[in-house]
Chain A
Amino acid sequence: MSVSTTGPDPVGISGPLHGVAVLDEGGRRGADGGPGGRRGPGRSPRRAGRQGRRDGPAGRRVLSRLTPYLFVAAAVGLLLLLTYLPAANMLWYSITDWNGLGPVENVVGLDNYVEVFTNPRILSVFGVSLYYFVGAFIQMALALYFATLLSFSTRFSNFFRGVIFFPYLINGVAIGFVFLYLFQPGGTLDTVLGWFGMTDPPQWLGDADIANYSLAGTSVWRYTGLNFVLFLGAIQSIPNDLYEAAELDGANRWQQFTNIIFPGIRRIIGLSFILAVSGSLSVFEIPFIMTGGANGTATFVIQTLQTAFSYRQVGLASAMAVVLLGIVLVVTWIQRKLFPDEKVDLT
């Protein structure tokens, strides 16, 4: 039976192979002494069975072709179950007036979307995203600065890398509480400022003009580490001989940065930019924990949450979520159009 598995018989033609197979069959039939002869050999069920077995190698080939899909199936299955199914549900809810409990009662068509775009109270909160958007640029600049600095051999560079990345490892809720105490009147921040003679600090969260800066600052503190690690990894993937060559040519650090490092990690910067934009549109954790969206710090996601669970308008909230998804996609698309993914050639 194993004849045809590895195929290439020294003879090099398929004829003998076939012949061997037939021989084999004949032999078996003989051994069985079965009634195979009575029927046409091709139609005999037993032969069909054997045919199947003879297909074994071919089946294994199919199996081996399927293997990658089987591996993927588990992941795709979970993805479908936990991401796409709920997302499809959300699309469905967004055209109903479901209140979150019991059966869906009315399909209202596009009314929810009309409401999202015509009610100024809903879209106006995107203004808050601007604080985080600007914050994201500061964050990327800081991260790039530190990543460049620490990519050169600096004393204690591993220690500083750890220090900068650490905030990202703390979970967002904990950060929210830590900064809540930091910003309290008479809290840590006020005490430290007091040492420097600033005796009349503002209410960091209570003053509506300042609250969003405080929150965006917290966000910068948290996510700089992530950007930093991304940039650092990209910088270190640039081949060392480029720096050596540059040094031989007498390039200083700044020239190395503008001519080697920056173009070398442009892709990662582009990626960070997309993450920054979509991140600043969908800020949630930090303001939700620290202010609950009060005092003019509500972001679009917080407002969506309130619509769904405080006002029990799950239909409208789903429409808001779909709109947010759409906006993020559009922004990403524009960004890709404006800054196409150029091939980078460092040599």
Chain B
Amino acid sequence: MASRKAIVGLAAVAAATLLLTSCTASGSGDGGDSGEVEGDITFLTNRTDLQTDGTWDEYIAEFQKEYPDVNVKVEAITNYEDDVTTRLSTPNGYGDVLLIPNSVTPSQYPDFFEALGDADDLADTYRFLAPKTVDGVQYGIALGGNANGVLYNTEVFADAGVTETPATEEDFLAALEAVKGTGAVPLYTNYKDGWPLGGQWTNIVGAVSGDPDAQTAMAHDEEPWTEGTDIYALDSLLFDAVHEGLTEEDPLTTNWEQSKGDFATGKIGSMVLGSWAISQFQAAAEDAGVSKDVVGFMPFPTNVGGQQYATIAGDYYLGVNKNSSHTAAAKAWLDWLIEESGFTDTQGMISAVKSAALPENLGTLEESGVELVELSPAPAGEESLFSDTADLSQVDVWGNIYRQKLIDIARGEADGDKDSYFAQLNEQWGSAVSELAG
């Protein structure tokens, strides 16, 4: 009898366990999707600031004028990437419309997201489709896009006597040297916060060579850290700048929020960032009582035969939960956000809609004859190859770990030099390439 009780007890524990783990999973599934544009949908976003200032509520009110039967609930999440990645494991735990977390690899999109249409058809209307296309099917559309390049303080550069934006690495380093003379930190790396060393740099791959297939080429290259490639140009410039003391003195104590103000007040000369940052830096400038014209944006300092390029790419992509019960309503909200909300205008981002004009803050790029490059889609079956190679080789091109190490070596705090480190990167990357692509 004792043992029976014990078994009953254990069974109860087991049942409770099952209940705990399954209660979230047993929610409504695909069933009940009427195909009508109606119902309650949840929208997950990382923009908590737009939640606070009521922008989302305004959008919803506008949206409901057109679709009165749809209720949109906005969930703004501070730690978006991590939280949503965790929530992806429960079918209905990640809302109806959401920004696709970067941790999901392209080959997994069909498991999580609703197909939005044929990529070829959508290509007539939208930019930035490539990263979220798998086997010709589109799983996400960019809420907005950015150009990638260098933010610089126009006044600091003018004080240093730099009148033209540098178009070669040598010119850029010389310009930084001149900026150093004014007492400002010429190039701020944001080493401590880390993320500004990841995608902000790697997104530029393609701009150095002007080759829209540069990422795919790198995924097949066993020695990409060799002179002449995009990634070499980027990391080499970073190395040289650090090595010559043109970056902040103690990188371990950098601070992103503080750096915005320091940039505005002329303590920082430049940072490698996407154009998304322009509006934030302009706001910081106005907070500091400086004209917002101090924030300048230039393409990465290289050229191919005199022609400069800047890559443009989608920021977060909107996707629809595959398990949503109100797919039609979710798609309506997604389309409305992208085409009619005016989000990209107010945020100074490039609209995913091809016919829309470039934002004001990038106007100078076009005037100075910079060509915008949008990366072309990876060949079928290789959508995840670039990020898979990065994962396997443990060279986190989208993260900060290997560039932090590069900076440590450049400032003499870790063993090695430029050649030995690039050789090591080639070896790690190369063995991953030969395993995955070879």
Chain A residues engaging chain B, CB cutoff 8 angstroms: 59, 62, 65-66, 69-70, 73, 77, 80-81, 85, 99-102, 121, 180, 183-185, 203, 205-209, 211, 291-296, 306-307, 310-313
The CA of A77 and the CA of B16, in the complex, are separated in Å by 9
Contact B253 A180 (CB under 8 A): yes
**Interface range on chain B: under 10, 10 to 19, 20 to 34, or 35 or more?**
35 or more
Contact A81 B17 (CB under 8 A): yes
Contact B391 A184 (CB under 8 A): no
User: B interface, by DSSP: helix, strand, loop or mixed?
Assistant: helix
Which of chain A's residues have a CB closer than 8 A to the CB of B78?
A: none
Complex: chain B residue closest to A63, CB-CB = B5
Contact A206 B250 (CB under 8 A): yes
Contact B413 A311 (CB under 8 A): no
Known: A62-B5, A66-B5, A77-B13. A99 touches B252 (CB 8 A): no
The CA of A258 and the CA of B413, in the complex, are separated in Å by 45
Determine how close the nearest CB of chain B comes to the CB of A344; give it in whole angstroms.
38
Contact A291 B252 (CB under 8 A): yes
Check B325 for interface membership: any CB of A closer than 8 A. no
Complex: chain B residue closest to A81, CB-CB = B17
Contact A203 B105 (CB under 8 A): no
Determine how close the nearest CB of chain A comes to the CB of B221; give it in whole angstroms.
20
Count A-B contacts at CB 8 Å. Answer: 99
Contact B5 A184 (CB under 8 A): no
Contact A306 B401 (CB under 8 A): yes
Subset of 27 A-B contacts with CB under 8 Å? A59-B1, A62-B2, A81-B17, A81-B20, A85-B17, A101-B89, A203-B250, A206-B249, A206-B250, A206-B252, A206-B253, A211-B252, A292-B192, A292-B194, A292-B404, A294-B191, A294-B400, A294-B401, A294-B405, A295-B252, A295-B404, A295-B408, A295-B413, A296-B413, A306-B401, A307-B394, A310-B399
Q: Mark B78-93, 1 if CB is under 8 A from A, else 0.
A: 0000000100110000
The CA of A180 and the CA of B9, in the complex, are separated in Å by 50
Determine how close the nearest CB of chain A comes to the CB of B4; give it in whole angstroms.
10
Which of chain A's residues have a CB closer than 8 A to the CB of B13?
A: 73, 77, 80-81
Contact A206 B251 (CB under 8 A): yes
Determine how close the nearest CB of chain A comes to the CB of B185; give it in whole angstroms.
12
Complex: chain B residue closest to A80, CB-CB = B13
Q: Mark B387-420, 1 if CB is under 8 A from A, else 0.
A: 0001110101001110011001000011000000
The CA of A183 and the CA of B390, in the complex, are separated in Å by 34
Q: Closest 8 interchain pairs by CB?
A: A208-B413, A206-B250, A205-B252, A77-B13, A294-B404, A206-B252, A203-B250, A184-B253
Q: Which of A99, A100, A101 has the largest number of chain B CB atoms within 10 A?
A: A101
Complex: chain A residue closest to B424, CB-CB = A121
The CA of A208 and the CA of B13, in the complex, are separated in Å by 50
Which of chain A's residues have a CB closer than 8 A to the CB of B108?
A: 101-102
The CA of A209 and the CA of B412, in the complex, are separated in Å by 11
Q: Other than the known A62-B5, A70-B9, A73-B9, what 15 A-B pairs have Cβ atoms closer than 8 Å?
A: A77-B13, A80-B13, A81-B17, A100-B85, A101-B105, A205-B252, A206-B250, A207-B413, A208-B408, A292-B404, A296-B413, A306-B401, A311-B394, A312-B391, A313-B392
